[in-house]
Amino acid sequence: MRRCRPGRPLPAFLRATVIAGALSALALAVACSKQPGGDAPPANKRLVVGFSQIGAESGWRTANTKSIKDEAEKRGVDLRFSDAQGDQENQVRALRSFIQQQVDVIAVAPKTEEGWQEVLEEAQRAGIPVILTDRLVRVDDDSLYVTFIGSDFVEEGRRAGQWLADQTGGTAVIAELQGTPGAAPTIDRKKGFEEIVARHPGMTIVKSQSGNFERSKGKEVCEAFMRSPEGPQITALYAHNDDMALGAIQAIAAAGRRPGEDVLVVSIDGVRDAFQAMLDGTLNCTVECNPLLGPQLFDTIEAVRRGERVPKRILTTEGVYDRSQVTAETLASRQY
């Protein structure tokens, strides 16, 4: 192989070889570097989506998982599903695995707001678009995710607070069961509820503690509320989700008080068990938080793959259900 001395022009045949090599290297680089959203997959290539789910801590989560799996199957998507068992580190590991697998799109329901900056930067460098579902993250730069599909948790907290204010004429001694510490719904549902409480001097929150969105933990914490010095004065229980409210209902009854009567119970999600409790008269109100995000998620993924612009925030639509509105037909009509 002749060594090329610097400063002398290359012979013509060598120039052609160098140019061809450079062009093929460029073509290879372009082919490997996925563009966010970018060029749609060839018609015969199945869309590959990596989804990181938090776990199975509540009826809401179970319904959310089913909605996403059912929709992926319906659309023939190759869904790489990872259940983090409630551990955010497992979610970060799952996203790194999806990047290694070079999936087309990553979707994630992030357990807590913090801890996502680094792995989302890795996904961006790999050219893989990330869609947030259910909960938001806190990062330096929101270009690290394409969009967030989920509910307005602050509004959900306001709706719960407003229902209680309307129901009691603005007078209540409240115990609060918070969700998972550091999770967006916990932070925002507390914020929204407190906005309403602040408008009513007769409403006070005397106990507030996390039940981690779990029924058993909600029962355990509410037992402690009932045993506390403030216990006998509590006239309302606000739970950040139905599962904790259903646990609290057991604790209130065990303390010799009537849930739904002596202690009003208001919560969020709108799962089927909450509608049953409203029919039973032990739950007074649930603010709907729709877990059936599968259709919206895959509509958004397909739009991203077609290279279409999607809004940074996609809101789910929800209502408020008071037990006076609930019948056996309402219960039968619930999809989750």
Tell me which residues in 14-53 interact with ligand GZL (CB under 6 A). Answer: none
With CB under 6 A as the contact rule, the residue among 79, 104, 135, 287 that binds ligand GZL is 135
**Of 20-28, 55-63, 166-174, 224-232, which segment contacts ligand GZL by CB under 6 A?**
55-63
Interface size with ligand GZL, residues (CB under 6 A): 15
Give the per-residue SS3 of the chain: CCCCCCCCCCCHHHHHHHHHHHHHHHHHHHHHCCCCCCCCCCCCCCCEEEEEECCCCCHHHHHHHHHHHHHHHHCCCEEEEEECCCCHHHHHHHHHHHHHHCCCEEEECCCCCCCCHHHHHHHHHCCCCEEEECCCCCCCCHHHCCEEEECCHHHHHHHHHHHHHHHHCCCEEEEEEECCCCCHHHHHHHHHHHHHHCCCCCEEEEEEEECCCCHHHHHHHHHHHHHCCCHHHCCEEEECCHHHHHHHHHHHHHCCCCECCCEEEEEEECCHHHHHHHHHCCCCEEEECCCCCHHHHHHHHHHHHCCCCCCCEEECCCCEEEHHHCCHHHHHHCCC
Tell me which residues in 261-280 interact with ligand GZL (CB under 6 A). Answer: 268-269
Task: Decide if residue 210 touches ligand GZL (CB under 6 A).
Answer: no
With CB under 6 A as the contact rule, the residue among 51, 145, 213, 225 that binds ligand GZL is 213
**Of 56-64, 169-177, 191-199, 296-304, which segment contacts ligand GZL by CB under 6 A?**
56-64
Tell me which residues in 59-78 interact with ligand GZL (CB under 6 A). Answer: 60-61
Task: Decide if residue 185 touches ligand GZL (CB under 6 A).
Answer: yes
At closest approach, how far in Å is the CB of 267 from ligand GZL? Answer: 9
The residues binding ligand GZL (CB under 6 A) are 57-58, 60-61, 134-135, 150-151, 185, 213, 241, 243, 268-269, 289
